[in-house]
Each structure stands twice: as C-alpha cells, then as structure tokens.
A = this chain, B = another copy of it.
Amino acid sequence: MKYGIALFPTKKLQDLANSFRMRYDSHYALIPPHITVKEPFEISDDNLPYITSKLRDIAKSSSPVEIDVYKVDTFSPQSNTIFFKIKEHETLSELYAKLHQEPFEENTKYKFIPHVTIGQDLSNDEVADVVGRLKMKKIEHHEVIDRMQLLYQLENGSWTVYETYRLGE
C-alpha cells in the first residue's frame, strides 16, 4: 500500500492555505493542507509493524518542529506548484534526514524545500498571474508542530491517517 508522512499545521494556517487551495489546488479535496516530510512510498502489510515501530523511535528522538512561513513561491519552471515557503530550520531538516536513512530510502531526486502547497496543475499563465499577485501579500506565520502523521492513499487518490507520532516525548 502507498504511504506518506506529513505534518499538519494548526487550523489557522490550514484555513489560510485552504482559502487559496479551493481555487488553485487540484488536490484540495484529497488531503488537508500539510508539509510533506516523506514522499509516497510503499509499505507491505508484513513490514508495517516494523516501519511503524521505527517511526515511533524517530518521533521520540526528534524535537517538535519550528515552522516559519515567510512568503509565497513556486517551483516554476520545474513544476507549476505554488506554495507557502517555510524557512529551513534544523528541527525540520533533522526530522527529514531521519526519514531518509536506513531503513528508509534516500531521496536522490529532490533537495528538501519545506512548503505547504496551495496550488498545482495550473497553466503557466495562471501560475505567473497567481504568484505575481500573492508575492505582494505579506504572509507571515510562526508555529511549532509537535506531531507527525503516517497516511495511506485510497483508490480515489485521497489520504487517510493511519497513525500519529508525537515528536520529542
């Protein structure tokens, strides 16, 4: 089954993200606003108890994560995703690193750029227009996230939470 690991920010930031996602994000109905810390990966049913016990260990040995949203940005031209950009912080990059070393696979495709997606699957013109407007907006938000979520994907593309792990207990 396909699993992913994400952080859900507070309701306040989720509501703000959704106010944009309802217009710009094709995945609006599939998952709440989130910070992906591990891209979709396969876990077999047999291996699930081992992986979840590893995640429990990682969470315990990690600190709650500092989140500083400071602007709207886009991956364009690599991809048309629009997002709230989050400042790099060692609490977040350390958690990400632990989720990409044994027994997990490395991510060799992308460098980790922490973000909350607010738009995707738009045309190039739309992206330029939306990002141009949103870059003028002052978007500043700070919070500490004290848990991470293991989710699995259903056949319709939506995601269900399997388990919550509290960071730093």
Contacts and interface: CB of A to CB of B under 8 A. Distances in A.
Interface of A: 1, 8, 11, 14-15, 18, 22, 28-29, 32, 147, 149, 152, 154-156, 158-164, 166
Given A11-B160, A18-B155, A18-B158, 6 more contacts: A15-B154, A22-B156, A29-B158, A32-B154, A32-B160, A149-B161
A159 B31 CA distance: 9
A146 to B, nearest CB: 10
A162 B148 CA distance: 10
15 contacts: A1-B11, A8-B161, A11-B154, A11-B160, A15-B156, A18-B155, A18-B158, A22-B156, A32-B154, A32-B159, A32-B160, A149-B161, A161-B164, A163-B164, A163-B166
A23 to B, nearest CB: 12
B161 A11 contact: no
A14 B160 contact: yes
B155 A15 contact: yes
B152 A11 contact: yes
A32 B15 CA distance: 19
Total identical chains: 2
Nearest to A149: B161
A18 B156 contact: yes
Contacts of A32: 154, 158-160
A53 to B, nearest CB: 12
Contacts of A152: 11
Nearest to A153: B11
